[in-house]
Structure 1
């Protein structure tokens, strides 16, 4: 080789460890960054804090799972098989019910990422596929029967403030099935019509639904009578003139506002007094009211509006378990054989 010629040799390729080769290269926005933005979006919609926490806890758990198993952690890189593996892992680690909750929360998260509001940060379809939803064994819902409701009301027959209040609450729950947070945040400001949520003459209460929408709950005559009886007792309460809330407490730090937690404690206590085996909780009344309305002949559309549901699917969700019972009652009234005479 000539002295003035320099020979170039190919540089040896660097060897990479198996661990470094396993680290996925991000193709889209990091999921933890997307989570922060999504949290702001959820909070701007005025969702319940528990709802926001449920959504964000799922995504945090999912991000941690991806990192632990060296899977893509960005909006573009995550694929259906990654979501599927996570759901299987959660089903085995916890329960099918928990895995199903994660599935529903992830579906909302990826729906946001694929939308204009979320960027979109993902240019392909959501990796959360309908067919990957965990199978959950259906459990029969528990309702408040007529007999149980009578027993509960029997525990609040006296003329005390507490009994009047609790009887009014249990009657409203049975009559119209409002959510705990909705009924307990009703305002009572007769001197300020803008914030006054009680309309006895119109037989209705104004409550706030999930998302903050206002909804007027209709009340029956007996329910209005029970509420009016409580309001008279309320006028003698030490916080009656200063509290803007309808429901007042009798013990604890803040007697100026009985909260949803106070309602749950009250129902559990009344259930024990009444000798009811299953724990009485506010949510049992939601399906009970819908079932009793359908049973009395109300249309599904009417029930949907009374309960403040946005879709008719919720009517089926809450009342399907007792559909056979209602059908038997209808048959008893319209039996073809009986009509033969």
Structure 2
């Protein structure tokens, strides 16, 4: 029996073409597809015209019973994009998402990397051997730029400018940006590059090398987990460095618009999300400098 022409799963390949034409990232496309596949499985792959508001709300309730509110919200946003596309393509008359409310996600600020923990990480990487030089450079680049894991892992040699102390990264939506870094990070990168020149895979364009060639995002995450264990601290997700960068920028009086450009954000909403990591600490520090009662 042939697949029904308007079944949800039968429309995925056409939708993916549209997403690629819009220059969506592979990670975004996969997240979108996952949401539709899960909805199709939950509803037994109905025709697109048969999906109603109640079906969407029941699916989101199902997701909430098994996963986090943040996951449910991501499924909601992905399905919104899918059904808007179906309306634009005239596969359906109206989106069943029109009056569905987004799942509420309680604010859970991500803790930042403390000075003591970062110092412990650097101490765990002390040494002059290739892995120590490489890992120190990676950690300092994370801490100094707030770049995403995929951005750091995807770096090539010619993306690095030690003279101007700038790294050129490719962010979400394949949007490039230039991010500056400090002198100590430049020194760590210089030391790594000299060690890298003697590596058996030195002729590859990729910046970070492991025993078997270029390091993947998974390889960098595993390195960080291993270094955390050696430093005697809790395992850190690479993304925590991004929250730390945003917090430190704002705590030191940096401008929000500058932070948006450095971090590669287009929506001001990202400022509140990332700035919330240590907002209470910044508020207390601001109060200490402006205590109302101290003037009496």
Secondary structure in 1 aligned to 2:96?
Answer: coil
The structure 2 residue matched to 1:203, chosen from 148, 160, 165, is 165
Deviation track 1:252-288 (CA, whole Å, cap 9, x = no partner) reads: xx32x112111101110111111112x1121111111
The structure 2 residue matched to 1:160, chosen from 129, 139, 157, is 129
User: Residues 176 and 133 of structure 1: is their aligned pair in 2 closer, same or farther, counting only changes over 3 Å?
Assistant: same
Q: Which has the higher helix share?
A: 2
CA distance in 2, matches of 1:319, 1:130: 30
Residue in 2 that maps onto 1:13: none
Within 5 Å, which residues of 2 pair with 1:1-341? Answer: 29-67=6-44, 73-115=46-88, 119-124=89-94, 126-129=95-98, 131-188=100-157, 196-240=158-202, 242-249=203-210, 251=211, 254-255=212-213, 257-277=214-234, 279-338=235-294, 340=295
User: Residues 298 and 61 of structure 1: is their aligned pair in 2 closer, same or farther, counting only changes over 3 Å?
Assistant: same
CA distance in 1, matches of 2:232, 2:103: 37
Residue in 2 that maps onto 1:12: none
The question of whether the paired residues in 1 share the 8 Å contact of 2:247 and 2:277 is answered with no
Task: Using the TM superposition, give the Cα deviation of residue 93 of structure 1 relative to its aligned residue in structure 2, in angstroms.
Answer: 4.4
CA distance in 1, matches of 2:261, 2:284: 25
User: Residues 32 and 131 of structure 1: is their aligned pair in 2 closer, same or farther, counting only changes over 3 Å?
Assistant: closer
Secondary structure in 1 aligned to 2:267?
Answer: coil
User: Residues 156 and 97 of structure 1: is their aligned pair in 2 closer, same or farther, counting only changes over 3 Å?
Assistant: same
Q: Across the two proteins, how many residue pairs are aligned to each other?
A: 293
Secondary structure in 2 aligned to 1:244?
Answer: coil
Task: Using the TM superposition, give the Cα deviation of residue 97 of structure 1 relative to its aligned residue in structure 2, in angstroms.
Answer: 4.0
The question of whether the paired residues in 1 share the 8 Å contact of 2:57 and 2:100 is answered with no
CA distance in 2, matches of 1:182, 1:130: 37
Secondary structure in 2 aligned to 1:211?
Answer: helix
- Please, what is the CA RMSD of the aligned residues? 2.2
* TM-score after normalising by structure 2: 0.91
CA distance in 1, matches of 2:269, 2:67: 28
- Structure with larger RCO (C-alpha < 8 A, sep 6+): 2
Task: Using the TM superposition, give the Cα deviation of residue 326 of structure 1 relative to its aligned residue in structure 2, in angstroms.
Answer: 0.6
